[in-house]
Amino acid sequence: MSFHLLNPSQKFAELSTELLITQYGLNKLKNSVTDKWSSFNTQQQKKWEEAFGVLDVIPPFSSFIAYEAHDAPNLKKLTHYSFECYDWGTAEGRGMVTIKGWRTQSEKYDEIPDDMSKWGWEQMETVGPYTDMIGKWIAQNELKITFNHHLCKRAKSFRQKNLKGELNQVLYDPTEALAEVNACVVFVGGGYLDAKGSTSPLAGARMFESVGSALTTIRSRKLKDAVVVNVKTSITGVDSLSNPSNRFSDLYSALASQQNKRLKDALENLSREQLLERLEQLEVKVGEPSSHEQPVRKSRM
């Protein structure tokens, strides 16, 4: 399944993944603490055990980052910068899904699970009480590893919004989404808004994925006496004039799905008597010979 995440204004979330700490950096932090374990009192040891316990349950993610010196092995320092820099790249580590902003068009998220409980918000929030201790240790021991402690506050904010119902996750089947969609169009006295900003019949109307997208366009274009109209559109077949190709397997799968749905809906709306009557008609047609199967008359000698 795929999904969209919408806010109360019906705009789509722009999602990404961010790391609290890289896996290589976490291992370096653990080794650094272990090396000086004997110097800690019982209370300090307990707190570090708790800290590593919550860090280990944060979901693993990958993210594109600017490396610190010890975020990955064998990093080389870049010399053409006036500040200390160790290249950029995709790193594996412990992190969460973040909301970067809100868009009027949806995106597809292949790398993000549709189960929001796996986005790391709840787990990241539990790191909060230990961020000062971890941050100070990293600085005092010059570990030079990434530690984005600000993610803990952001995780709490995202989670609270979700609990309040301000984030609406909509799951959908990608195949069905190619066959049928609930969308919006904008009616502006006399016709529907088209892609050029003019008005046209429904067939030429610009379609919007959500009410929020349509309302944003109305405001940005300063349209007066405009109203958002909900529409439902679906595919019915591939036109032979367009020179269809078997390469479009996803399209044909969507078309088959739509035809099966129409057949199912039709069967559900028929009574038992109507179904029996229809079956009898089909049996008659099956039993009748077709025009090219007419019985051949024997010629008389």
DSSP-based three-state secondary structure for 189: coil
The 10s digit of each residue's pLDDT in 187-208 is: 998 899 999 999 999 999 999 9
Looking at residue 301, its pLDDT comes to: 38
The 10s digit of each residue's pLDDT in 215-237 is: 999 999 999 889 999 999 887 77
Looking at residue 297, its pLDDT comes to: 47
In the numeric block, which tokens belong to residue 194?
A: 């088209």
Looking at residue 116, its pLDDT comes to: 95
Q: How far is CA 273 from the centre of its chain?
A: 45
Looking at residue 146, its pLDDT comes to: 95
DSSP 66-126: E--TTSSTTPPPPSSSSS----EEEEEEEEEEEEEEEESS----SSS-S-GGGSSHHHHHT
pTM given for the model: 0.75
- Rounded to whole angstroms, how far apart are CA atoms 146 and 21? 5
- Rounded to whole angstroms, how far apart are CA atoms 182 and 232? 5
Looking at residue 172, its pLDDT comes to: 86
Looking at residue 260, its pLDDT comes to: 73
Q: Going by DSSP bridges, is the β-strand pair 168-172/88-103 parallel, antiparallel, or unpaired?
A: unpaired
In the numeric block, which tokens belong to residue 207?
A: 């379609």
Residue 234: in which H helix or E strand, if any? strand 226-234
Looking at residue 264, its pLDDT comes to: 72
- Rounded to whole angstroms, how far apart are CA atoms 148 and 155? 12
Looking at residue 286, its pLDDT comes to: 47
What averages of pLDDT result for each successive group of 10 residues across the chain (301 residues)? 91 96 97 97 97 97 94 86 81 97 89 94 96 96 96 96 96 83 91 93 93 93 93 79 67 70 69 73 53 46 38
Cβ atoms of 109 and 89 closer than 8 Å: no
Residue 206: in which H helix or E strand, if any? none
Looking at residue 241, its pLDDT comes to: 64
